[in-house]
Amino acid sequence: MSKRLLAEFFGTFWLVLGGCGSAVLAAAFPQVGIGLLGVALAFGLTVLTMAYAIGHISGCHLNPAVTCGLWAGGRFAAKDVPGYVVAQVLGGVVAGGILLVIASGKAGFSASAGFACNGYGAHSPGGYGLLAALVCEIVMTAMFLIVIMGATDKRAPQGFAGLAIGLALTLIHLISIPVTNTSVNPARSTGVAVFGGGWALEQLWLFWVAPIVGGVIGAAVYRTFGRNDHA
């Protein structure tokens, strides 16, 4: 278990550093900024690379919503959920701290200005309200779990799960960055919110509740139509 938790720590660390780092450091960089498309791809690439690096060790959850969803889908033991969630959040927070050190090397930087934090209302990139943010995060996370459970099903083509899951996360970001800056992952949200402070912490509750609810719903849906009744 200690090796599995360490793998989840480093995997989530990479997700937050790579995904949020691309948003903070590179999204609007003069002349060569990667923009929304680049940030979406960066998040997908972190999951894709970690799926093959640590998937055989911990399952590469990197996300409390995924861990809770896999438990709800009958793929993960309840007793292991708390340890995974703690390791994921710690990995995210450490990544957020390192990103803050790097970003602070530029004159005039302030984490309170955003720091890739998730938000709604006045803090939504596109000005979307609470209900829109709630629905978006629930639905996107539910679809993410359906992809995860389907791609890792024993009946699915072997060796391609990481690719499908990474591309699914990229697509999710392409859809929802304008709405909430895309969470679908409480550890990702927490990792930067603790340094953004203020409104980011005040709105953090939504980015715990909605992804976990969505993850459980998605897993339950897949368990309903994806089970093998002929096994």
pLDDT tens, per residue, the chain with 231 residues: 899 999 999 999 999 999 999 999 988 766 667 888 999 999 999 999 999 999 999 999 999 999 999 999 999 999 999 999 999 999 999 999 999 999 999 888 888 878 999 999 999 999 999 999 999 999 999 999 999 999 999 888 888 899 999 999 999 999 999 999 999 999 999 999 999 999 999 999 999 999 999 999 999 999 988 776 544
Q: What structural domains and CATH numbers belong to the chain?
A: 2-225 (1.20.1080.10)
The whole-number pLDDT of residue 31 equals 67
190 Cβ neighbours under 8 A, 6+ residues apart: 89, 92, 93, 204, 207, 208
